[in-house]
Structure 1
């Protein structure tokens, strides 16, 4: 991580000022509490159920290994959001990263998701990634609108791709963003540090 993009950081939102910092193993209990308060439907677009302790522990191991970078949004000492950048430099797609994001139900629509998205996006830029993807269930219209406002475009619809705890299947939409092109546009306008800050 570059010095230019260090944490913790602070962001103004409609919910007030929040702290955004890197997630570590010391956060395991508070993140588990956060995840267990999320509606189950919100967890469907994640590859695994992070409200399960063993899954959360494996996630933190991935952070420690360097495969994931996870940011927590903290409001008055409480986790209200989490944004993760997943990147595997040893895969066939070393130039691609995936953003995974969840925000507490009680603070949605107040800019916390946007603040986390921008910080996660900035991590992707500083990591030199060329493309980003994000996925969610098709009914998560606010989340889709948020990512579309950041320049993401729909690339795929995966029908009946996830199955909830009641056995009901849901479609997943995959959105993509050409990060390299966006970075070049920033430089062309003379603002290469606008997102990286």
Structure 2
């Protein structure tokens, strides 16, 4: 099991290297310019209210994964959006699942009642990961994003309705069984 720690100033350089080392195609689907030091330093400084960010690190303190939960503003402030990226070298190891699960638990503890994630429709592994964690499809946005080559891609919005999922788990005693794992 990997340590997942809250993003701090000490992680900025390693996180910048992590994003710079991602294949260009992976960076296509990240909204922010994650190669801009000011963006990453702003994240570490806690500049966005209602947003929490974590990293996983490997040998030499290299960042191997990043996850964030962004609380939506205004009338959607009960909703959090998950953003997740795993280094290509760490994919298939369970790290993505661990980060996604960490983000979901943190979102629940923060009182969010709905958690959403946007996934490019062709990203089968990501779709599988989130559906196994209780996320279900809410929307398919056809030709919604453009990749670096200019091709249009479909975007899927998956949602985890906390009350429904956790009530079902509670009914069969799973929340008690998970206990310490939910902290």
Shorter-chain TM-score bucket reads 0.7 to 0.9
Alignment correspondent of 2:40: 56
TM-score by length of 2: 0.88
Asked if the contact 1:44/1:137 (under 8 Å) is kept, the reply is no
Using the size of structure 1 for normalisation, the TM-score is: 0.82
Cα contact 2:28–2:148 (8 A) shared by 1: no
Is 1:38 the counterpart of 2:22? The answer is yes
Aligned equivalents of 1:51, 1:157: Cα separation in 2: 29
Deviations, residues 42-87 of structure 1 (Å, cap 9, x unaligned): 23333223123233234335x3443311111112222100111110
What are the within-5 Å matches in structure 2 for residues 20-169 of structure 1? Answer: 20-61=4-45, 63-76=46-59, 77-88=61-72, 90-169=73-152
For structure 1, the residue ranges without an aligned partner over 5 or more in a row are 1-11, 13-17
Distance in 2, Cα, partners of 1:126 & 1:120 = 10
Contact 2:169 2:175 in 1 (8 A): yes
Contact 2:136 2:158 in 1 (8 A): yes
Between the two structures, name the one with larger relative contact order (CA 8 Å, sep ≥ 6): 1
Cα gap change, 1:172 to 1:44, in 2 (>3 Å): farther
Asked whether the 8 Å contact 1:86–1:98 carries over to 2, the reply is yes
RMSD of Structure 2 on Structure 1 (CA): 1.8
What does residue 196 of structure 1 align with?
A: 182
Task: Verify the 8 A CA contact 1:23 1:70 in the aligned structure 2.
Answer: yes
Q: 1:55 to 1:65 in 2, by over 3 A?
A: closer
Q: Is the 8 Å Cα contact of residues 153 and 175 (structure 1) preserved in structure 2?
A: yes
- Structure with a larger share of its residues in helix: 2
Q: Is the 8 A contact 1:125 1:196 kept in 2?
A: no
Structure 2: 5+ residue runs without aligned partners? none
- Tell me how many residue pairs correspond in the alignment: 179
User: Structure 1: which 4+ aligned runs deviate by more than 6 Å?
Assistant: none
